[in-house]
Chains A and B, each alone.
Chain A
Amino acid sequence: AQSVTQLDSHVSVSEGTPVLLRCNYSSSYSPSLFWYVQHPNKGLQLLLKYTSAATLVKGINGFEAEFKKSETSFHLTKPSAHMSEAAEYFCVVSDWEYGNKLVFGAGTILRVKS
């Protein structure tokens, strides 16, 4: 079975400092992995996705994530946080074996302090 664990429910950073949101996954085969962002009272927007190509994935707005199979991790990073990026972030796993079903982590709320 698939599962996703987001290791921090809340992360607080100062504006201009690096962001690290941690995600570990469990999947039987070769998964697809995604990071979605949800701003307050908004729908979900895709930040980036890993689909078995390059292990370092670049997304929108300077976000990156690295797929590490040996560690079953897919952590999201950004060198410098911006106030507008305060939101909830979801790590998601999907696998063809499970019919494209998305399995979501519980979410990490990112707070950016001025």
Chain B
Amino acid sequence: EAQVTQNPRYLITVTGKKLTVTCSQNMNHEYMSWYRQDPGLGLRQIYYSMNVEVTDKGDVPEGYKVSRKEKRNFPLILESPSPNQTSLYFCASSLSQNSYNEQFFGPGTRLTVL
């Protein structure tokens, strides 16, 4: 089954404790992206990657890092989480950078930073 998976689905942590949220897709997509969803703000892009070893900042990159060492994986790293990073996070992938392509979303990761 074609899908985007994220782990963990739920995470409660404390300020300053490094964490990684994994994202993997099995569709051989070139383009991958991370979003955060906050009430009343829709989804906002954190980082994106057009292909292996090619990443760039989205609208809200502060406090986050990403890497793209393999085509299928695109982990999101919070080196020193803070309470304002409490949010619902979505990973997405699409065939290419072309704006016609539908993006497929993972199930989401709900992060709480105390």
Cβ of B101 and Cβ of A100 under 8 Å apart? Answer: yes
Q: Which residues of A contact B (CB under 8 A)?
A: 4, 9, 31-32, 34, 36, 42-46, 49, 51, 90, 94-96, 98-102, 104-107
Q: How far is the CA of A66 from the CA of B97 in the complex (A)?
A: 25
Q: How far is the CA of A65 from the CA of B42 in the complex (A)?
A: 20
Answer whether A101 and B45 are a contact pair too, CB < 8 Å, given A43-B106, A44-B90, A95-B99: yes
Cβ of A106 and Cβ of B41 under 8 Å apart? Answer: yes
Interface string of B21-39 (1 = CB under 8 A from A): 0000000000101010000
For residue A104, which residues in chain B have a CB less than 8 angstroms away from its CB? 35, 42-44
Cβ of A90 and Cβ of B42 under 8 Å apart? Answer: yes
| Cβ-closest chain B residue relative to A32 | B99
Size category of the binding interface on chain B: 20 to 34
Cβ of A100 and Cβ of B42 under 8 Å apart? Answer: no
Cβ of B44 and Cβ of A100 under 8 Å apart? Answer: no
Cβ of B43 and Cβ of A90 under 8 Å apart? Answer: yes
Q: What 7 A-B pairs come out closest when comparing CB atoms? A: A104-B42, A94-B99, A44-B105, A104-B43, A43-B107, A51-B100, A43-B105
For residue B96, which residues in chain A have a CB less than 8 angstroms away from its CB? 100
Of A96, A99, A102, A104, most buried by chain B (CB within 10 Å of CB) is: A102
Can you list 13 A-B contacts (CB < 8 A)?
Answer: A9-B40, A43-B106, A43-B108, A49-B100, A51-B99, A51-B100, A94-B99, A99-B50, A100-B31, A102-B103, A104-B43, A106-B40, A106-B41
Query: Given A4, A96, A107, which contacts B99 in the complex, CB threshold below 8 Å?
Result: A96
For residue B35, which residues in chain A have a CB less than 8 angstroms away from its CB? 102, 104
Q: How far is the CA of A62 from the CA of B94 in the complex (A)?
A: 25
User: Whole-angstrom distance from the CB of B110 to the nearest CB of chain A?
Assistant: 9
Interface string of B72-114 (1 = CB under 8 A from A): 0000000000000000001010101111111101111000000
